[in-house]
Amino acid sequence: MITSEVADRVYRLGHAFVNCYLVEDDGRVLIVDAGLPAIWPLLAGALRERALRPQDVAALVLTHAHFDHTGVAARVQAHLGVPVWAHPHDFVLAEHPYRYAHENPRAIYPIRHPRALRILGSMAAAGALRVPGVRGLQALPQGGPVDVPGRPVVVPTPGHTAGHCALHLPDRDVVLSGDALVTLDPYTGVPGPQIVAGAATADSALALASLEPLAATGATTVLPGHGEPWTDGVASAVEQARRVGAH
């Protein structure tokens, strides 16, 4: 199996330590995040495996526009002809995937955290260094449900990027947290609930403050952009992430 059902009709598709999710609703599909370029053939396989067709895909929503979550966004847009949604504060980043803001120099992390080398190497092999930009995005609303399969409620969670948004599926008791809260930090290789290291986070203080709206969803299952699903409730994940703090 390429995918696993991690919540009610929510399928996880992971590759090179990056997660995408398929949210199925009445035979229609929302893709959440677009992985790295090498995910493309797996995406087709994931749809087949769930008895879905490419034409069943109705939309792609990006939690944020970092290159490891926009790998096939332009291809999905062009080949499947579906709208790609993101917060407007990440539109420029989506067009220019390598111009992202981060607090700390990236080069020190693999030296301090050799465990991360395997992860970063795997991401590079999956095309992390050749992600095309994507333009013509739809603007996510500042809150409230989006009219796409699953009707996710947008939870603005800036800090990791200026426009980062989590997606809450209240009727399925799930929050897709993107990189606002992960259970594996690709820059350190450390598992467990936490915000992403300053190597890739624009504003860690803001990212920590954004754990509050995430906790307010009260969701039981947290589906992060990196790492395993968390099924012990968002409150305990947020508590642990606060304890870890900025790094």
Please tell me whether residue 68 binds Zn ion under the rule CB under 5 A: yes
Please tell me whether residue 90 binds Zn ion under the rule CB under 5 A: no
CB of 154 to Zn ion, least distance (A): 17
Among 37, 127, 213, 225, binds Zn ion (CB under 5 A): 225
Please tell me whether residue 163 binds Zn ion under the rule CB under 5 A: no
Please tell me whether residue 179 binds Zn ion under the rule CB under 5 A: yes
CB of 178 to Zn ion, least distance (A): 7
Q: In terms of CB distance, is 68 or 90 closer to Zn ion? A: 68
Size of the site for Zn ion (CB under 5 A): 4
Please tell me whether residue 15 binds Zn ion under the rule CB under 5 A: no
Q: In terms of CB distance, is 24 or 179 closer to Zn ion? A: 179
Instruction: Give the burial class of 45: count Cβ atoms within 10 A of its Cβ; 0-12 exposed, 13-18 middle, 19 or more buried.
Output: middle
**Facing residues of 221 across strands?**
174
Interface with Zn ion by CB under 5 A: which residues?
Answer: 66, 68, 179, 225
